[in-house]
Amino acid sequence: MSHILLTCAGVISAGKSTLTQILADELGTKPFFEPVDDNPVLPLFYRGNQLVEEGKAQTNPYTFLLQVYFLNRRFAMIKKAMQEDNNILDRSIYEDSIFMKMNTDQGHATQEEWEIYQSLLKNMLEELPYAAHKKSPDLMIFVDVNLETMLARVKKRGRPFEQVENDPSLLSYYKTLIEYYAQWQKTYNASALLTIDGNKYDFAGNADDRNSVLDQIESAMVDVGTLSPGKFEELKEKRYNK
């Protein structure tokens, strides 16, 4: 198996982290997970939303700060992953702009902030070949889910701040996020892209579905040259004979 870097993408609760761990166990690689519990900017961002709702601000003054915070962390994470051998990321810098673009279009950030953000992201991506061994991921795995699947998994995950019943405005947010991811899927070109039907395959809870998804991913890895056909067959045989 050649040195590999896989990245997963998808909306909230699509199953990125679960699939990342499954792949890491399958391939003997190191998973990189995005931290979710130690973000000092999120409370400020939520306060900024309140200011907008109360009419005390035209845009959320913390949107740009939050997105730069995420961008910086994702740049550091992918740079570290690229410097090592055989790693998988559950979210990457390549889908980061989805959120900043959506916030700008919805009026939570200014056009000037969006342009500065784009310039910063472009500079970071241009630095990756110099800061790491790779220019881009070998394969981007997009877990595509519809709103019904997304809501069911959000409910199952149980984070209070993600629940629609706690914040009805989240329903519109989730619908819009799915639309922006659909557009991102059409324009992504940093590497090969494999789309997994997250509505059809329950790779977390169903062994047959998990094997089907792993077959798709490993076949794509053969296509991009990071997995030999012989190794692919070896992995399949091991899985199906458990």
Structural domain boundaries enclosing 164:
5-240
Q: What is the pLDDT of residues 100-112, one digit of tens each?
A: 999 999 888 999 9
The whole-number average pLDDT for the span 173-193 is: 95
Per-residue confidence (pLDDT) for residue 1, from 0 to 100:
53
CA distance 86 to 29: 5
Q: Give the CATH number, domain containing residue 80.
A: 3.40.50.300
Active site residues per annotation: 90
Q: What is the end-to-end Cα distance of the chain in Å, rounded?
A: 22
Q: Work out how many domains the chain is built from and give that number.
A: 1
Please state the rounded mean pLDDT for residues 80-91: 86
Handedness of CA 209, 144, 93, 106 (dihedral sign): negative
Q: Is 12 annotated as a binding residue?
A: yes
Six token digits for residue 32: 């990189």
CA 31 to chain centroid, in Å, comes to 13
154 is in an annotated binding site: yes
What six digits make up the tokens of 134?
């790779």
Give CA–CA dist 53/55, Å, rounded: 5
Is 16 among the annotated ligand-binding positions? yes
10 labelled ligand-binding: yes
pTM: 0.91
